Amino acid sequence: MDDSYLIFFMENKGEIVAGGNGWGNELNQLARPLCLCVNNDETVYVSDHLNNRIMEWRNGSTSGRIFANDLQGPLQIVIEKQPDCFLVCDYFNRRIVRCSSQGNTETILSDVNCTGLALDDKGYMYVADQYKHEVRKWKIGEHDEGILVAGGNGNGDRLDQLFCPRNLVIDRNESLYIFDCGNQRIVKWDKNARQGHPIVTLWDIGGIAIDRFGDFYFSDRYEQKIINRTKNTQFNITGIASRDLCFDRYNHLYVLDYDNQRVVKFHSTENL
């Protein structure tokens, strides 16, 4: 795979696929959205943080619907393998919940200060705890203390430490990419490693994501850029204050614009 699809990203201004109608709690609005994910039919799900809800925007819709609202300050969302189910960091309730399209909300894990969440292909969930400065993994449905996989050595900037970890993503090799917010860096933590290694140091990191080819991306909020760290390429997203990123199965890129209460989609040339 070459970089030709990035040329289109650079020339494309993107399209608004969720929000973009100012701050508010109407079905076509968002209020400080923080995280997003996209399913196989290009439906966008947004953690609408100040409205305490998860919003669903179907492809082509001009307004969304409330997918879940029994929440307090939702953060990261991840899609489970079972149809129409998601795991959500329910931050102020200190829990992780499973939300379904039937309107059900089930607590999966309690007493955790979750600020980041990821799933691997084996059914393990990886949870970043900003107050314990660590990432642990649990088999979904288990309620033990979990397995420490990153940090856990107090807050600090050593290679075996984290300081208020936030978003995280996992690749096919089960390596974690952790936004180590307090240290203003992104750390790659390989499977079974005792320490990570910083791959990005930047004072205003926005979102992080892995595309369908395994390339790792991050956004620079201040410079308004998206950077492909794997290939060392970048493109501008002028006017977008990115807070989260994700890719769909077609490799279209979705950028959550925190300041403008919207999600912007950039099309990949693979399908053009």
235 class by beta-carbon count within 10 Å (0-12 exposed, 13-18 middle, 19+ buried): middle
The pLDDT score that the predictor gives to residue 270 is 54
Q: How many CB atoms lie within 10 A of CB 113?
A: 16
Q: Tell me: the pLDDT tens digits for 145-157?
A: 899 999 999 999 9
The whole-model pTM stands at 0.92
| Residue 115, token pair as written in the block | 């600020």
Question: pLDDT by residue (tens digit) across 226-250?
Answer: 999 999 888 888 889 899 999 999 9
* pLDDT reading at 29 higher than 50: yes
Using DSSP's 3-state secondary structure scheme, residue 24 falls into coil
- Output the CA–CA distances (angstroms, integers) from residue 123 to 12, 141, 214, in the order listed: 36, 10, 19
Residue 86 pLDDT: 92
As a whole number, mean pLDDT of residues 96-120 equals: 91
Closest listed residue to residue 39, CA positions, set 16, 67, 12, 20: 67
pLDDT band at residue 12 using 50, 70 and 90 as cut-offs: low
